[in-house]
Structure 1
Amino acid sequence: MANVLVIDDDRFVLAMVRDILQSAGYAVVTVQTPEEAFNMSVSEISAILCDYNMPGMTGADVLTAMRELQGCNVPFIFLTGHEELDDILPVAIRYGAELLPKPIQPVELIRLLVKQLGTAAA
């Protein structure tokens, strides 16, 4: 079973994403701040879903820190309601991350996660 880390400052979004992923058979760990994610061991994490707009740190900052400082190369998906993609796309392309627009559609979330996990396993 894949373990998915979800980082979002919105408790409602965390609960919704957790419920969607758990109903699809994934184990889910949720945190509300990037700092909480950085303080945990990511060695058992199979994928990360991260809000783009959070207080103090963007999802791009989180992705860069995970890749460069934590050495965590698992699939990464931005959850974003952010309409201007110019600041997201360069880091997403650089690190092979995907974008999932909000409001989150459960089928699209699972499809994208399965795709990312399959790509990582290949």
Structure 2
Amino acid sequence: MKTCLVVDDSKVIRKVARHILETLDFDVREAGDGQEALEACSQDSPDVILLDWNMPVMSGMDFLRALRQTEGGGAPKVVFCTTENGLGHIRAAIDAGADEYVMKPFDRETLESKLQIVGMA
């Protein structure tokens, strides 16, 4: 079974994402910020990470940069999932190592298409 780590400080977003991902046959874990996510990845690296941009403790961008520098940190596919929709934000995310980008609010169809693009659906 494919694994996904949902990283978002919003419990509601994590719950919605978990529901969608489980219907797509993912085993889902959750983290409330980038630091928690980094620890989760060091224990058991997921196949794909759904990542929020704005979070306390460690932002999505800081997490992504840190992840990509760790051993094996290049393996998980990372889909940024955020309200930040400026071209500059999207370019910065891709430059930092994100594989794809999805806008909030998202639905099952949108998320599934992004996962297909990164080869995970």
- Same fold (TM > 0.5): yes
Match of 1:9 in 2: 9
The structure 1 residue matched to 2:105, chosen from 103, 106, 111, is 103
Change over 3 Å in CA distance of 1:56–1:70 after alignment to 2: farther
- C-alpha distance in structure 1 between counterparts of 2:45 and 2:98, whole Å: 20
Change over 3 Å in CA distance of 1:36–1:18 after alignment to 2: same
Give per-residue Cα distances to partners, 1:22-78, cap 9 Å, x unaligned.
011111111111111122235441011100111243211111111013531211010
Tell me, yes or no, if the aligned pair for 2:33 and 2:57 is still in contact at 8 Å: no
Q: Percent identity among equivalent residues? A: 29
Deviates more, 1:56-65 or 1:79-88: 79-88
Q: TM-score, normalised by structure 2?
A: 0.85
Aligned residues: 118
Deviates more, 1:59-68 or 1:5-14: 59-68
Unpaired runs of 5+ in structure 1?
A: none
Q: TM-score, normalised by structure 1?
A: 0.85
- C-alpha distance in structure 1 between counterparts of 2:43 and 2:49, whole Å: 9
- Cα RMSD (Å): 1.9
